């Protein structure tokens, strides 16, 4: 292994303009104008473990669809710990990942730089005595190796970089909850093993030209457990203060304008849905931080700012992580018993506006003779303070009362749904005997499939309501209790109107498709027979004809009126298959 590592490092050195020093990167050797290929990650992972055998472990936590190993480094000066030993020691774990979008590769080069400096005692002194750092240099490994000079046309450097999506064209930062990709399932397995207090996701934003060089977004801040929101604010504000002292201009929100390309439209804050990293981890009672350096800054600047952020993160977790971990465990112990009457599923900013000073540049907006559109042009020689409207009062948009006991997943869906529950570490059990149960059932009044696919799915937007019914529950169905530490993840997956639920991603679309029909000539006779037997039905039909011209003008709607009231109508049409129960079903 030592020989292999030495050969790999020699190979990397021979392909760069200057040979990197031991435990340094191709990027550092190039003055942070270039970034290395994935062979460098493999070599450095082993090299750090060899150089610091008592403090660093190099591990594979998955394999990509193209067969590449997914590498992580685990660092702690308390020894080469297993996840169980870290938990028994009460050490907080912080997971820092780079390259989820492999063109935005600042995190890889900054992370290796920070790791070396921390181990050498030059940065975050003593931090690794008080925490475990799990570092994933590149999450999207196959995308990293789709290497090219124009893979990020909106970004200044490095010279070449990887691609945004995976080899299967998944955007991993849309995959946290649905977990379609092999890479995400491997990452969630790593999360299950190490159970980090905090997860840091390193990115580079697109957008307008301005002076601000980084944004730091954290949840829980607007959402989640009330005590953990306080922790989230402390962590975010502490990291931002550190960065400001080092000359950065950090922002606490994603710097994307309400109206594309128009700075005067301002900025709207919010809570990301759980397809995103920062929208996911607060559901687990964990801290999530999204770091976005600014694409218009040069690569050396971005790597430096990212390195500073990593060091600050480690310092704050080392300083207060043990206390924050206790807050996390207390939130877990409460489970859903501390839930509100209504649980938020999505969030929005209120109309309330405040004005801030935003460090931009002078700009003009003029019609383009190329596109014909109104375009914004910036003058980077003329810094300018913009009076920027910001909407950052964030409130729940859609809230739902949690079920009293939990959810029932019918046997015909139990196999694939259980695999989704497993990847998130959720508790459930199978029901041994069939039952005629009192349940809540959700029937969609409106089911709107997307016109085009999203991440390979035809998504579905549902509108409806839960109501009491009796339903047959077959043996082999799943009972998913709401009273468990990750009850918010349960609701995010199984509430049909949640933005990233299984239903929203189209996994239950068959339930909202009509499969049986009544021929028109049959429906004509059925309608006459029904009206002859039921004068009230005839009167209601005639009243509808008189009051609703569109209905009266549609032969299909008129016949459907009777079919929907006939015994042949499919009562399961638009019935969401997952049920809610007020009492847990009997044990196996």
77 within 8 A of 115, measured Cβ to Cβ: no
pLDDT value at residue 569: 80
Model confidence over 517-565: pLDDT tens digits? 889 999 899 999 999 999 999 999 999 999 999 999 999 999 989 988 8
pLDDT band at 493 (very low <50, low <70, confident <90, very high): very high
Burial (CB count within 10 angstroms: exposed 0-12, middle 13-18, buried 19+), residue 245: exposed
Between 336 and 432, residue with greater pLDDT = 432
Read off φ and ψ for residue 408, nearest 5 degrees: -115, 125
pLDDT value at residue 11: 45
Q: Please say if the pLDDT value at position 294 is more than 90.
A: yes
pLDDT value at residue 22: 81
Helices H / strands E in the chain, number of each: 16, 19
pLDDT band at 570 (very low <50, low <70, confident <90, very high): confident
pLDDT value at residue 516: 85
Write down the pTM of the prediction: 0.92
Q: Please say if the pLDDT value at position 207 is more than 90.
A: no
In 261-393, beta strands by DSSP E: 267-268, 287-294, 343-349, 354-367, 374-391
Chain Cα centroid distance, residue 152: 22
Q: If you average pLDDT over residues 230-242, what whole number do you get?
A: 98
Between 19 and 453, residue with greater pLDDT = 453
Q: Which of 80-94, 164-178, 333-347, 491-505 is predicted with the least confidence, judged by mean pLDDT? A: 333-347
> Look-up: residue for tokens 């309330």?
352
Q: Please say if the pLDDT value at position 16 is more than 60.
A: no
pLDDT value at residue 21: 65
Model confidence over 349-372: pLDDT tens digits? 999 999 999 999 999 999 999 999
DSSP, collapsed to helix, strand or coil, labels residue 450 as: coil
DSSP, collapsed to helix, strand or coil, labels residue 449 as: strand
Query: What's the mean per-residue pLDDT of the chain?
Result: 94
Q: Residues in the chain, how many? A: 588
Question: Residue 149 has what DSSP assignment?
Answer: T
Q: Which residues of 192-201 are buried (b: 16+ CB within 10 A; e: fewer)?
A: ebbbbbbbbb
pLDDT value at residue 434: 87
Q: Please say if the pLDDT value at position 5 is more than 70.
A: no
49: CB partners within 8 A, 6+ apart: 56, 57, 58, 73
pLDDT value at residue 2: 46
C-alpha–C-alpha distance, residues 190 and 124, integer Å? 25
Model confidence over 129-162: pLDDT tens digits? 999 999 999 999 999 999 999 999 989 999 999 9
pLDDT value at residue 339: 64
pLDDT value at residue 340: 65
Q: Which residues of 34-56 are buried (b: 16+ CB within 10 A; e: fewer)?
A: bbbbbebbbbbbbbbbeebeebb
DSSP strand pairing (267-268 vs 374-391): parallel
The CATH fold of domain 57-257+272-334: Aminopeptidase (3.40.630)
Within the chain, what is the greatest distance between any pair of CA atoms? 92
pLDDT value at residue 18: 45
pLDDT band at 571 (very low <50, low <70, confident <90, very high): confident
Chain Cα centroid distance, residue 363: 34
Q: Please say if the pLDDT value at position 286 is more than 70.
A: yes
329: CB partners within 8 A, 6+ apart: none
C-alpha–C-alpha distance, residues 105 and 311, integer Å? 17
pLDDT band at 20 (very low <50, low <70, confident <90, very high): low
Residues of the chain with CATH 3.40.630.10: 57-257+272-334
User: Within a 10 A sphere around the Cβ of 8, how many other Cβ atoms?
Assistant: 18
pLDDT value at residue 587: 58
3-state secondary structure 141-178: HHHHCCCECCCCCCCCCCCCECCCCCCCCCCHHHCCCC
Model confidence over 248-267: pLDDT tens digits? 999 999 998 998 888 999 99
pLDDT value at residue 261: 82
DSSP, collapsed to helix, strand or coil, labels residue 161 as: strand
464 within 8 A of 572, measured Cβ to Cβ: no
Torsional class of 261: left (φ above 0), alpha (ψ -120 to 50), beta (otherwise): left
Q: Please say if the pLDDT value at position 1 is more than 90.
A: no
Question: In the chain, pLDDT over 90 holds for what percent of residues?
Answer: 89
268 within 8 A of 186, measured Cβ to Cβ: no
């Amino acid at each position: 292994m030592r020989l292999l590592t030495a050969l790999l490092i020699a190979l990397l050195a021979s392909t760069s303009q200057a040979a990197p020093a031991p435990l340094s990167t191709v990027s550092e050797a190039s003055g942070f104008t270039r970034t290395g290929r994935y062979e460098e990650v493999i070599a450095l992972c082993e090299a750090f473990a060899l150089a610091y055998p008592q403090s660093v472990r190099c591990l594979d936590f998955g394999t990509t669809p193209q067969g590449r190993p997914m590498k992580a480094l685990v660092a702690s000066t308390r020894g080469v710990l297993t996840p169980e030993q870290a938990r028994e020691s009460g050490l907080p774990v912080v997971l820092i990942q780079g390259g989820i979008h492999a063109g935005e590769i600042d995190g890889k080069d900054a992370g290796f730089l920070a790791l070396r400096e921390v181990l050498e005692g030059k940065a975050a002194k003593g931090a690794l005595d008080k925490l475990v750092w799990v570092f994933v240099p590149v999450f999207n490994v196959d995308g990293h190796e789709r290497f090219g000079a124009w893979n990020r046309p909106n970004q200044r450097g490095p010279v070449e970089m990887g691609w945004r999506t995976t080899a299967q064209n998944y955007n991993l930062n849309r995959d946290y909850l649905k977990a379609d990709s092999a890479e995400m399932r491997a990452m969630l397995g790593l999360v299950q093993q190490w159970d980090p207090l905090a997860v840091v996701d390193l990115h580079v934003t697109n957008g307008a030209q301005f002076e601000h060089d980084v944004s730091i977004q954290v949840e829980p801040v607007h959402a989640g457990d009330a005590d953990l929101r306080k922790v989230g604010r402390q962590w975010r504000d502490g990291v931002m203060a550190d960065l400001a002292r080092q000359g950065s201009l950090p922002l606490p929100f994603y710097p994307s304008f309400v109206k594309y390309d128009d700075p005067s439209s301002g900025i709207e804050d919010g809570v990301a849905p759980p397809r995103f990293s920062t929208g996911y981890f607060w559901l687990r009672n964990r801290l999530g931080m999204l770091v976005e350096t600014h694409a218009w800054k040069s690569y050396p600047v971005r790597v430096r700012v990212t390195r500073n952020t990593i060091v600050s993160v480690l310092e704050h977790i080392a300083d207060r992580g043990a206390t924050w971990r206790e807050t996390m465990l207390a939130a877990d112990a409460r489970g859903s018993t501390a839930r509100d009457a209504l649980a938020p599923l999505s969030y929005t900013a209120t109309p309330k506006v405040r004005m801030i000073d935003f460090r931009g540049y002078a700009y003009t907006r003029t019609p383009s003779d190329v596109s014909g559109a109104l375009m914004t042009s910036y003058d980077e020689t003329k810094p300018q303070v913009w009076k920027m409207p910001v909407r950052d009062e964030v409130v729940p948009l859609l809230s739902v009362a949690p079920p009293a006991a939990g959810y029932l997943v019918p046997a015909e869906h139990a196999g694939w749904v259980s695999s989704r529950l497993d990847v998130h570490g959720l508790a459930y059990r199978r029901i041994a005997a069939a039952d005629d149960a009192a349940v809540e059932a959700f029937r969609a009044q409106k089911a709107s499939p997307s016109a085009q696919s999203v991440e390979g799915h035809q998504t579905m937007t549902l509108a409806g309501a839960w109501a009491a019914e009796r339903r047959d529950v077959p043996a082999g169905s799943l009972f998913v209790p709401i009273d468990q530490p990750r009850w918010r993840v349960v609701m995010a997956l199984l509430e049909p109107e949640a933005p990233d639920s299984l239903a929203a991603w189209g996994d239950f679309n068959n339930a909202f498709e009509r499969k049986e029909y009544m021929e028109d000539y049959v429906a004509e006779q059925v309608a006459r027979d029904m009206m002859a037997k039921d004068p009230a039905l005839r009167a209601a039909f005639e009243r509808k004809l008189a009051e609703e011209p569109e209905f009266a003008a549609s032969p299909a709607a008129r016949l459907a009126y009777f079919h929907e009231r006939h015994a042949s109508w499919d009562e399961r049409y638009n019935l969401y298959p997952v049920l809610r129960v007020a009492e847990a079903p009997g044990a196996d």
